Homo-oligomer: A and B are copies of this chain.
Amino acid sequence: MSPIPHLPGGADAHRPRRGRPRSGGREAILAASLDILRERGASRLTTREVATRAGVSEGSVFYHFTDRTGLLTAVIEDSLTSLMDVNPAAQAEVAETLEALTAGMERFLDKVLIVVIAAQSDAELRTGMADFLRSNDFGPHRGVNGIAGYLRAQQRGGLVRADIDPEAVGAMLLGSIFLRVAMGQMVDPAYSDNVPDRGRVLKGLVQLITPPDGPRSGGPSGRR
């Protein structure tokens, strides 16, 4: 199902490797960079402050990442890769499965949006990220297709209305989550409350896509 080649870095931040154990300088630099990105934004990230926060010298930063662009590229690809394959097991109920599926997507978006935004600050970073996404067939469509695939399966089982467009529903569901996460991150955390949260959207959606008169039954009566 997953056409992704084996990529460096899995769900873990620090993987074991051949060779001498790392002293942690590199990781400290990456972590400090992420912090600065969040607090000050990409334009205000200087190699000098990265070094200071990471507790290393500026020379170390360049030793590990060649240049500033290399550093930011590493930060971006690192974050993107970290959660590339999350796929929670399907639950018994449609509502529960969608809940688990979208909860994971929301957490993922919340984590990667910061670096996706950082990539927008520089055309070189942006095209680099675009290439990376293309190479790995990665991006939001993965989430949309994940939702759509699940819905399609349930359509065959009769738990979901047969006449819905799974991709359209997937785009709407993921879109609503993306919208909320983006508002929280691009304006301020409380701003996302101006828009329904995942729980409410999910509830409204399940109501829409569930057959009017229960699974599989073609009868005209029965409460909804």
Contacts and interface: CB of A to CB of B under 8 A. Distances in A.
Interface in A26-62: 39-44
Interface in A118-137: 118-123, 125-126, 129-130, 133-134
Contact of A43 (B43, B186, B188): B43
B175 A205 contact: no
Contact of A187 (B39, B133, B205): B133
A176 interface: yes
Q: Which of A144, A164, A221, A224: most chain B Cβ within 10 A?
A: A224
Interface stretch (A13-21, A89-97, A194-202): A194-202
Interface residues of A, number: 61
Given A41-B123, A182-B182, A208-B208, A196 B220 contact: no
A212 B195 contact: no
A152 to B, nearest CB: 13
A3 interface: no
A210 to B, nearest CB: 11
Interface string A168-209: 110111111111101100111001001110001101110111
Which 9 pairs across A and B sit closest by C-beta, in order of nearness? A175-B175, A168-B204, A165-B204, A172-B172, A141-B194, A175-B176, A175-B179, A43-B121, A171-B176
24 contacts: A39-B123, A41-B125, A42-B42, A43-B43, A44-B122, A118-B120, A134-B191, A139-B194, A140-B183, A140-B195, A141-B194, A164-B208, A167-B195, A169-B208, A171-B180, A171-B196, A172-B172, A172-B205, A175-B177, A175-B178, A176-B176, A178-B178, A179-B179, A208-B208
